[in-house]
Amino acid sequence: MSETIEVEKRGAVAVVTMRKPPANALDIETTNEIADAFGALAEDGSIRSAVLTGTGNVFCAGVDLKKAPGYGTDDQDRMVDALNRIFYNVYRLPVPVVGAINGHAIAGGLVLALCTDKRLAATGDYQVGVTEVRVGIPYPVSAIEVCRAELSPTDFRRMVLFGQNVAPDEAHEIGIFDEMVAPDRLMDRAMECAEELAGLPRDGFMKIKNQVRRPAFERMRAAVDDKQDPLFGDWLSDETLAAATAVLKGR
């Protein structure tokens, strides 16, 4: 356990909890910690399923808008690399991953939720959306590939190009979430699902996941292993700082 992430093994289930109040926002260090945690889980043969969740009323607010707009070129490249790693490592985990979405899932936070295989969301009044366009933050390869693979073509176009948030009930209706659960039941239900999915043959599940996601995996692997992302050296522009500041003031 670090200051921002906890990994707890409950039998054959690994529970990964983001603990970075107030919004579980992603900076370079936190993003790499989560990526490393899932990289380690991929090598742990005793794990048969996993749960990913957050604390408080936010699952994850995406890239930390207080930090990222101030990154210099080197740190921007480090952040692009970290984002490619986190989404790739969660999305390709060789065992089923249950997302326990406990609240707001915004921008990279929703991408992270989309990386999970079965998505349970708490009922409540919060927002869900990929809003990068509103702050002028282009998508690293792994992020856009997950969105392309996991959203319907219509929702992919609408949500990515216009950055519109939706309520969790609408997210459920359009297939982003698989199941809506009362907040006080969310983790119990996530564990029920994870324990059931842990019974699937691990090797077969891994091979079938690779079959289902091969095109995305190949492009994501190139971005992570070969650093083939066109955003290296050209991620954020001057307009990002102004747009991020306006968003933070609006909150």
Domain that holds residue 14: 5-186
Kindly give, in sequence order, each residue whose CB lies less than 8 Å from that of residue 70, ignoring residues fewer than 6 positions away: 241
Query: Is 27 a member of any domain?
Result: yes
Residue 137: which CATH number? 3.90.226.10
The predicted pLDDT at position 239 comes to 81
Kindly give, in sequence order, each residue whose CB lies less than 8 Å from that of residue 230, ignoring residues fewer than 6 positions away: none
* 223-233 pLDDT tens trace: 999 999 999 99
**Residues 49/116, Cβ–Cβ less than 8 Å:** no
Query: Is 218 a member of any domain?
Result: no
230/224 Cα distance (integer angstroms): 12
The predicted pLDDT at position 248 comes to 62
Tell me the longest C-alpha to C-alpha distance in the chain: 50
Radius of gyration, alpha carbons of the chain: 17
Please determine, for residue 79, whether its predicted confidence score (pLDDT) is greater than 70: yes
Query: Is 49 a member of any domain?
Result: yes
Query: Is 108 a member of any domain?
Result: yes
Query: Is 194 a member of any domain?
Result: no
Structural domain count of the chain: 1
The mean per-residue pLDDT over the stretch 209-217 comes to 97
Query: Is 235 a member of any domain?
Result: no
Query: Is 18 a member of any domain?
Result: yes
84/115 Cα distance (integer angstroms): 12
Is the C-alpha dihedral spanning 240, 115, 121, 164 positive or negative? positive
Query: Is 36 a member of any domain?
Result: yes
* 122-163 pLDDT tens trace: 999 999 999 999 988 999 999 999 999 999 999 999 999 999
* 171-199 pLDDT tens trace: 999 999 999 999 999 999 999 999 999 99
Which helix (H) or strand (E) covers residue 146, if one does? helix 141-150
